[in-house]
Amino acid sequence: MEAKSIGRYLRVSPFKARQVANLVRGKDANEAVAMLKYTNKKSAPFIGKIVKSAIANAEHNYDMDVDELFIAEIFVDEGPTLKRMKPRAYGRADVRRHRTSHITVVVKEREVK
């Protein structure tokens, strides 16, 4: 059984979010939340909220044991890019791209041996 949670249109670059996602992939859910709490990256609080949401979904919707959960899958997809103009010298303009991300977290219970 698995439970998942998705965060969409988050204002963080997918490249930067994947760096944090790679830290917690495969870890126990409680350990991942603790790691994200002290990770000094912009995407860490976003990913932390999504992991907590996936844990809550697993507990409430599927009656899973919270202590046996681990992050089975976590992936970051690119969302729409917000394009903004920035004035430059001699009447020119540059495009500023504000990238967004869609982050998906899937948690599963560990198999009891």
**What tens digit of pLDDT does each residue of 29-47 get?**
999 999 999 999 999 999 9
Q: What is the pLDDT of residue 111?
A: 84
Q: Would you say residue 113 has pLDDT above 80?
A: no
Give this prediction's pTM.
0.92
| Contact (Cβ atoms closer than 8 angstroms) between residue 29 and residue 7 | no
Tell me the CATH number for domain 2-109. 3.90.470.10
Q: Would you say residue 82 has pLDDT above 80?
A: yes
Q: What is the pLDDT of residue 112?
A: 73
| Contact (Cβ atoms closer than 8 angstroms) between residue 29 and residue 66 | yes
Tokens of 23: 């830290």
Provide the residue ranges of all domains of the chain, joining segments of one domain with +. 2-109
CA pair distance 109, 60, nearest whole angstrom: 14
Tens of pLDDT along 18-27? 999 999 999 9
